[in-house]
Amino acid sequence: MTETLIGKRVDVLDKGWIELVDLMPHPSTDISGDLAIVNAARVSFLGESKGSDRDKKLLFYLLRHRHTSPFEMVELKFRVRAPLVTWWQWVRHRTWNMNAQSGRYTPFEENDFYVPDVWRRQSKDNKQASEGQVTDADGEALTAELLAHYEASFQHYQNALDKGVSKEMARLFLPGFSVYYTWVTKIDAHNLMHFLRLRMAEDAQYEIRVYAQAIYEHFFKQALPWTAEAFEQYILNPSE
């Protein structure tokens, strides 16, 4: 199953996506990620197993008791296209290794801007959160205003490029938080679980929550089914 994961791409938001670039251990080794975790805990040779039942029982023991270093032996590498409003949240997790597209070298396209499906209201109880949404009429008007803003901003950006302004300065005309960037990102399974626990939570900002959910549902659960099961039991829903 993991062979088909590498190269898989999942669409997120209006123009974003996540693509799995690589896995460690690589599927060509015939060692699953779950088994690599178990073997690391045993300080064993890759590929050595004591049978599925004992292997799975050990993995669950490790996560239940927070013996997390063996989970760092598995890594996932992604290419991600997301608006800056998402990356602003993402980069706070310093356990990710990242390399980003640069607007100094690569010109932006006219449609490289995030257009939300709905306009959320400011939460009355949480200064950094949103809840509910504005009326349909107000939402339609706001979207029209946003699209007009994007069009005018891009025209200013293109005009600056046409006049010979460097790309690194011309991008000052672009609406910063909405611009889509493509990143290469890598993380180990232990730290990815920490990221997922925080960013899949209901109080996480929507624009990063949908990326975390996509990583978990389309990649993590398929690459590490035992680990995902233990993660749900002991970390996501510890009281259930």
Question: For 16-53, how does the pLDDT look when each residue is reduced to its tens digit (9 = 90+)?
Answer: 999 999 999 999 999 999 999 999 999 865 667 889 99
Question: In the predicted model, what is the mean pLDDT of residues 171-177?
Answer: 92
Question: In terms of domains, do 33 and 148 share one?
Answer: no
Instruction: Please check whether residue 127 lies inside any domain of the structure.
Output: yes
> Looking at 9, 42, 120, 199, which residue is catalytic?
199
In the listed set 135, 156, 176, which residue is the last one of a domain according to the structure?
176
Which tens digits make up the pLDDT trace of 46-83?
Answer: 667 889 999 999 999 999 999 999 999 999 999 999 99
Question: In terms of domains, do 54 and 138 share one?
Answer: no
Question: In the predicted model, what is the mean pLDDT of residues 129-158?
Answer: 93
Q: 128 or 64: which carries more pLDDT confidence?
A: 64
pLDDT at position 112 over 60: yes
Is 64 among the catalytic positions?
A: no
Binned at pLDDT 50, 70 and 90, residue 143 comes out as very high
CA distance 205 to 207: 6
In the listed set 176, 199, 227, which residue is the last one of a domain according to the structure?
176
Instruction: Please check whether residue 172 lies inside any domain of the structure.
Output: yes
User: DSSP assignment of the chain, as one string?
Assistant: -HHHHTT-EEEETTTEEEEEEEEES-GGGT--HHHHHHHHHHT--TT--S-HHHHHHHHHHHHHTT--GGGGG-EEEEEEEEEHHHHHHHTT-TTSEEEE--TTTSPPPTT-B---SS-EEEPSS-TT-EEEE--HHHHHHHHHHHHHHHHHHHHHHHHHHHTT--HHHHGGGS-GGGBEEEEEEEEEHHHHHHHHHHHSSTTS-HHHHHHHHHHIIIIIHHH-HHHHHHHIIIIISTT-
Question: Angle 186-209-12 (CA atoms, 0-180°, nearest 5)?
Answer: 75
Can you give the pLDDT at residue 185?
Answer: 98
Can you give the pLDDT at residue 219?
Answer: 98
Question: In terms of domains, do 93 and 184 share one?
Answer: yes
Question: In terms of domains, do 81 and 55 share one?
Answer: yes
Count of domains in the chain?
2
For residue 89 the two structure tokens come to 């949240």
pLDDT at position 147 over 60: yes
In the listed set 176, 203, 222, which residue is the last one of a domain according to the structure?
176
Can you give the pLDDT at residue 240?
Answer: 53
Instruction: Please check whether residue 81 lies inside any domain of the structure.
Output: yes
Q: Tell me the residue range of the domain where 162 lies.
A: 115-176
Question: In terms of domains, do 172 and 183 share one?
Answer: no
Question: In terms of domains, do 166 and 185 share one?
Answer: no
What global pTM score does this model have? 0.92
Question: In terms of domains, do 95 and 183 share one?
Answer: yes
